[in-house]
Structure 1
């Protein structure tokens, strides 16, 4: 029987790791669809960002209560899963609590700490469920979360609560079997939280307790492996990608816009046409801005896959607050969805072939793009270093410079700058007229 369980566990583990690795490979391919860039800043600056924002969750603590609760869930879930190493080794080697004899008296202390964290995870997830579904906080009720995105968050929170309850029930039944001297259940010492639950199980027979303990063990590890494979399809992929994303975040002052060398060259040739050679540029006619995912940078796509869908960007967006259609969260979600679309085409056909859709127009409308005030509030608010504004600017550049598609007010301003060297409709000769009579 033990051999059969051992074989079954190894098969399930290998299958789960294989499926996860295959999906990770697909996501990596999709991210690398973007143009190559060299991140700004030194490694020391980027490591500082990673420690402060990804590990230390600095942005989250702007709202202390939410920050503390999120830290409980984040740290608790990650740290508790250290115990998964023991469970995996127990399953593969057909042992039980492999580390207990090695760690001695330290073992129950470690498990006790894990159990306290498990209770904090349950508490944090329960409060987040209430906030999302009963309190109707504005950033959780936006239409960009309709359907799957809203359900996704609830599924994860419920799953985390279930996994923690299974962990505590497994330990409690194990404790009772230890106290009864049942073979295979070695004495480890009392655990801090599950030890308080053992009176609830005292009336059960040894065989029933063994079934309960084994059921919880299997459901716990199967739940963790299922969560592992659900992660790449969920917004909770940020658990993994938050670290590389904050590391590669632009460390330059927010608001600094990226210059376009191709535009600069065209302007220089207009001012000094004698510098134009007879040969066309080696890289051909430049393409201005971005129309689809391959026109963006790989960092833009890493941003899209790292999005937590928390809505802090949209909640801070002045355009969204005043009722306009722009939602920076939706910009990131649509970018990720389009990258997934292109990835599926590549997977099916071996290469990308036009499907009649593009990120611009099919996923993100011009109305959304022109609503942006470029204030950087969305960039400032993101807890994992995402920059929706960079994507918006590239799409707007394409609209203006490739499609000549700009609001009438902008076209008037462009015309004035071209003719009068200023945004206003005044002759350059009259520019100092305001001082007359003063």
Structure 2
């Protein structure tokens, strides 16, 4: 085993890998051993908790876990060392995400900061912005929400109507964002706003960093069909942020926003697929236990799911290896693959479970029995939640229709879709 502690933030992981024989296996072993040693005691109960559709589960405890990861050197692995990261290689980042998923470790609460905003500030931010925000992302003391979608601009980001006007030393912001993940638990939001009067589409947009704890901001959780509320409406009524908290120049918002979206579908997708594989294995186990695997249709759907998972893995690996010509097209293909596969898995899971999947479990919520007439006090079963929440997979992060348009127009060169 390596003679140094790879969880020590003083260790540059990239430099270590370049000078260490069998570095990949040693790194994987170090991650496995650390997770085995630390997902214990009070943290043991967090295994498998959280994630899309279940973000309400043990949030405070998962935040504590994320801060424990930070203190132990396991956050922001891919960031440059000079910005508080670990300088990890792509291979090391893949290994970490896969080992994390295999350990059934809890869903992280800092994804938007660590995987999206942080790399964006490193690429486009000023030294002052980097100094102000990056350390708080690394140590998980400030959480971020994404202010992109609006009621009239869901996946069509260029239709943003929220405005921001520069007034002396601050921006004044007015408008509404929707489907804002975890805004009710975040301290900051990165917001795309229209800063040039009379502008349209992708022109005249700017990328602003806005504090959420202020009188001009109202966050209203949206109750979903799962009974949970991880998405929100966010209203800006003369909300303000400092003039210096614009990333890039005024009018550069489209470029910065598109740069951020390229970071969104990175190495973490391979870790995500480990979680998908675990879900599929559980569905197969259930099919064997209740005999539904003997149904030719069910057996065929299970085989197709296995093949689909292998296709996702191959696509992710060739994308990360740079084997795909269009980065934009690659991101859209990746999103279409996993979103549709996961939605189909939710449908397959309840088909395997059969009639019992129609009944709420007998477990209680907050000491009260499940009661479908009182959505705030219904605890869904695992497969029920998977079925219901994966309806959103094909919508958030860019709907299926938008992803197909991107591939058609920007990769295949087909005519643009007619706009009203």
- Please give the range of the TM-score, normalised by the shorter of the 2 chains: under 0.3
Normalized against structure 2, the TM-score is what?
Answer: 0.21
Higher relative contact order (CA 8 A, sep 6+): 1
Q: Look at both structures and tell me which one has the larger radius of gyration over its CA atoms.
A: 1
Greater share of helix: 1
